[in-house]
Chains A and B, each alone.
Chain A
Amino acid sequence: GENVEQHPSTLSVQEGDSAVIKCTYSDSASNYFPWYKQELGKRPQLIIDIRSNVGEKKDQRIAVTLNKTAKHFSLHITETQPEDSAVYFCASSNTGGFKTIFGAGTRLFVKA
């Protein structure tokens, strides 16, 4: 079946450095790619999303890139801060359907 692979599973960076999380999806019909952040003990919340007709989207310190040909998409966080520490989930879905498939998650540690 369809799946989303996410790497790395754990990422540790120094405050101020950049962090990159990569995902690969298998369903070529996917056209919507959200990223969710889950802080410890809290619910996942959407932080940024992108559609297949766009190659890159930026929102302050976070950006997402999409390579539809290679079925890759990535989350980039610049100037990381301790409050960026969380688990990040990538996901893919087809807006014509209802099923969103999540990656396994990346635990990001930002060391002060």
Chain B
Amino acid sequence: DVKVTQSSRYLVKRTGEKVFLECVQDMDHENMFWYRQDPGLGLRLIYFSYDVKMKEKGDIPEGYSVSREKKERFSLILESASTNQTSMYLCASSLIQGVRYSDNEQFFGPGTRLTVL
């Protein structure tokens, strides 16, 4: 059973603070993703990583950075949190991009609801 965990369910930070959101998966998945979820906007991709130390920008990378030092762990960093980064953050992982249906399924973590005051 795939397990994707996130370091916090709820987080409250102040404007200007540096924020770390951590995600760990235990299924040896190659790909990991960070999304933010806002009402009416669906899931928007911030960054993804297809291998250790590899990262690619998604649709809304501004104000965020990521780190993937180990295969199982993918961190999202808000260098200087702002109020417009108040959101639900979802991490996901998938095996590889491949020809089998099962290769592409993304497994999501429980989410971190971040509030920036």
Instruction: List A19-61 residues whose CB lies under 8 Å from chain B.
Output: 32, 34, 36, 42-46, 49, 51
Mask: chain B, 90-107; 1 = CB below 8 Å from A; 0 = not = 100000011101011110
| Contacting pair B41 A104 (CB below 8 A) | yes
Bound Cα distance from A104 to B41, whole angstroms: 5
Chain B minimum-CB-distance residue to A51? B101
Known A-B contacts A98-B56, A98-B97; the reply to A46 vs B42 at CB < 8 A is no
Measured between beta carbons, the chain B residues less than 8 angstroms from A46 are 105-106
Q: A98-B48, A100-B45, A102-B42 are in contact. Are A32 and B104 (CB under 8 A)?
A: yes
* Cross-chain pair count, CB within 8 angstroms: 59
* Total A residues in contact with B, Cβ cutoff 8 Å: 26
Selected from A9, A45, A89, A96, the residue in CB contact (under 8 A) with B43 is A89
Size of interface on B: residues with Cβ below 8 Å to A: 28
Interface pair B105/A34, CB less than 8 Å apart: yes
CB-defined contacts of A34 to chain B, threshold 8 Å? 104-106
B103 CB contacts on chain A under 8 angstroms = 95
Q: Which of B44-69 contact A (CB under 8 A)?
A: 44-45, 48, 50, 56, 58-59
A23 to B: closest C-beta gap in Å: 11
Nearest chain-B residue to A48 (Cβ)?
B101
Alpha-carbon distance between A45 and B1 when the two chains are bound, in angstroms = 13
Q: Is the CB of B111 within 8 A of A43?
A: yes
B108–A45 touching, CB < 8 Å: yes
Q: Which residue of B lies closest to A9 (CB)?
A: B40
Known: A43-B109, A44-B90, A98-B31. A104 touches B97 (CB 8 A): no
Apart from A9-B40, A101-B45, 19 more pairs, CB < 8 Å = A6-B42, A32-B104, A42-B110, A43-B108, A43-B111, A44-B90, A46-B105, A49-B101, A89-B42, A93-B104, A95-B103, A98-B31, A98-B48, A100-B33, A103-B42, A104-B40, A104-B41, A105-B40, A105-B42
